[in-house]
Amino acid sequence: MTDRRKAMISKIHIAKQQLQMADDSYRAMLARLAEGKTSSTKLTLQQLDDVLAEMKRLGFVQKTVRNIGKRPNPQDDRKRYMAKVEALLADQKRPWDYADGMALRMFKVEKVAWLDDDQLRRLMIGLEIDARRHGKGTEAWEK
């Protein structure tokens, strides 16, 4: 099975969930669009395209994947601060792009990886304050 087929079949199953289709309705739709076939794995690429088009007509909206950013790889002396920043981001379920945005707003530096030690420490404190503001307590952090 090619990567394109796998991706299309996955999209069809996501659309089925998003549209909250019952299994019998889903299989009836497949049979109507694909010459009696009732399994998405048995469909040709054209039939998969037809099924996706029908699901979009029924209201399926494909969501784009968020760019979550890349975790920086710091030097040894900065790993402690970076670990704390990563933990604070994870607690708040925020991507690395959030920390990059804070670095840009606070220091006019585009990436967390480019911050100096003092800026990194201040960013970490800013994330701690944000965590407390949103009800996530943080333990004391010593330098």
Q: Give pLDDT tens digits for 51-99.
A: 999 999 989 888 766 655 666 666 667 888 888 999 999 998 899 999 9
Distance in angstroms (rounded) separating the CA atoms of residues 47 and 53: 10
Does this model's pTM top 0.75? My answer is: no
Residue among 115, 35, 47 at smallest CA distance from 75: 115
Is residue 139 over pLDDT 60? Answer: no
Instruction: Report the share of the chain in percent with pLDDT over 70.
Output: 85
Q: Which string of DSSP letters, residue by residue, matches 8-37?
A: HHHHHHHHHHHTT--HHHHHHHHHHHTTT-
- Identify whether the C-beta of residue 34 lies closer than 8 Å to the C-beta of residue 47: yes
Query: From CA 74, how far away is CA 96, in angstroms rounded?
Result: 14
Name the band, by pLDDT with cuts 50, 70 and 90, for residue 38.
confident
